[in-house]
Amino acid sequence: MIVAHPDDETAGFGGHIPEFEKLFIVHLTAGSPDDMRFAYRAGCKNQKEYASLRLKELSEALSICGFNREDHFVLNGVDQKVIESLYSLTVQVIHLVRRIRPTVVLTHSYEGGHPDHDCASFIVSKALKVLSVYLGYTNIRHFEFSGYHEHNSLIETGTFKIGSGIMITVSLPEYNKNLKKMMIDCFVSQKEMLSIFNIEKEVFRIAPVYDYSRPPHNGKLLYEIMDWGMSSSEWRAVVEKVSQEIDKNFYIS
């Protein structure tokens, strides 16, 4: 499972984590933006302290479901600025997936909810393509979980914005539902954001083949409405450049 921030794994997949005999979780960031308002709001003095808090909350949540900490990786992206280290993070994921050799990789969908979530979608898609085309790893399946996106200028969760494929909706049994609630309660610093997610069900699908040169949907994206410092056109320009660089460098190697 490859996600952008601590708590994304719980919001999207928390009810299923205990069901897996072997599960690796990769976080692209420690969940601490450069914008100090988030740290101050959580009672932290600086970005490093806030990152430690986010990872502590994550550790508590994962311990509830018996997750093995040795199977957890935190990469060096910065919350809200994953796009700035997109090349490096994609290469790191390529090498991690090559080393772990999973049969399935689960991540965010491309839906314009958060720029880091869209980056995670691109990173996994690009990594699996490189591994398949250039290195011969053709049997890794790419799934995604529902996150959040724009709907009538508001935030919608529990479904996918657009795209093809069969949507799989799983109603969580009482035990898994209670477990997920306990995990969510560990993320005190993210209480407001996590309150929008439904703990009754989790929604998945096989990832469609995305064209990242185009916006995920018509109209303004949620992160543009929320003014998170990134436009869709800026995001797509970086993705196009990084995609070409990765193709060139891995083809040559």
CATH of the domain at 64: 3.40.50.10320
Of 95, 109, 79, the closest CA to residue 12 belongs to 109
Structural domains of the chain, count: 1
Mean pLDDT to the nearest integer, 248-253: 75
Residue range 59-85, pLDDT digits in tens: 999 999 999 889 999 999 999 999 999
pLDDT category of residue 252 using cuts at 50, 70 and 90: low
pLDDT category of residue 165 using cuts at 50, 70 and 90: confident
Which DSSP letter does residue 247 get?
Answer: H
pLDDT above 70 covers what percent of the chain?
99
Which two three-digit tokens encode residue 235? 């995001």
- The confidence score (pLDDT) of residue 245 equals 96
pLDDT above 90 covers what percent of the chain?
91
Please report which residue ranges of 21-172 form alpha helices under DSSP H. 36-41, 47-64, 86-100, 115-133
- 203 lies in which domain range? 2-252
- The confidence score (pLDDT) of residue 253 equals 54
Which two three-digit tokens encode residue 124? 């996994």
Cβ contact 106:143 at 8 Å: yes
Residue range 28-67, pLDDT digits in tens: 999 999 999 999 999 999 999 999 999 999 999 999 999 9
Mean pLDDT to the nearest integer, 128-140: 91
Residue range 73-127, pLDDT digits in tens: 999 999 999 999 999 999 999 999 999 999 999 999 999 999 999 999 999 999 9
pLDDT at position 251 over 80: no
CA separation, residue 91 to residues 97, 158, 223 (Å): 10, 31, 25
- Arithmetic mean of pLDDT over the chain: 95
φ/ψ (deg, to 5) at 178 = -65, -40
Residue range 191-235, pLDDT digits in tens: 999 999 999 999 999 999 999 999 999 999 999 999 888 999 999
Pairwise CA distance, residues 148 & 43, whole Å: 26
Which two three-digit tokens encode residue 111? 């839906």
